[in-house]
Structure 1
């Protein structure tokens, strides 16, 4: 397998776009090569098989959504109160929603994980680690709320993001800001 990390990332980004646009059936090595604008056969040089590609797409999604150091620093500045949690949740919803193709690809991966035990294992581990990291960050930062608060926010905001990206007329865009604020205020009375 090839080792060029930039090319691998480019292929995975292309695979995310294909998966989001075409679904699982449209995700082929040829479609990834075409989307990435590389010669045919390139993707198959980087990924041993479809399972390897799917697994690495899952990793790449989370890699691209990692908050940057400036956001982490900003989260730890100033008062650690409900208003700070509201601001952080708004940032999270915007960051995830702005990577629409990534989130839609993750939904495709989650559905496929019901049929592929290895993918299910990977996604379970990765999503559990993400939830745990969010809980640990929240508690270590001294923000109000406990583990249950963070889990409630993760579950409710994930569904809000899903609605926003797939059926945006259910909760029109002008309501999203107020919904996020209300969810935090109800989780942190």
Structure 2
């Protein structure tokens, strides 16, 4: 009789211990730690920055594709994709953390961040030049806020984005496009953009 009582007690203790482990796994703080660990492992394994998230970026910029479920402050798909490529946690990362992650992604991948299009007057021009070409104000405003490198010289045209804007400003002297280019020039200049001759 004592043997069965002892066996029952041991089995009950084991069941209680297993239930406690399950309860711990379901606890919110445990899930948060697991999510952080998962993100860290993703970063360590080379998934961050994630260049696959930049696929179709030129289309998103050129067509101003809207995001059906906007992330953060923008209604456009390019914004979501840049956040995802940079592994930004839009709900928890501070403005400074977001900016640092985007800069890190941009520095690592900027040689691959180029566009080609029949409406683009250069081949393999960087995203910022393409946004200038398509007159996409919000994209240009975002890159100046993120403080990414604005001074890449594209091999295809030998110009920085500021050189590119100045060329189009002079080319369109006296028409409405000149005013738009002047806005971009001043915005980029204030954010640290330089002419190739100044680098």
TM over 0.5: no
Q: Report 1 or 2 for greater relative contact order, CA contacts < 8 Å, sequence distance ≥ 6.
A: 1
Larger Rg: 2
**Normalization by structure 1: what TM-score?**
0.30
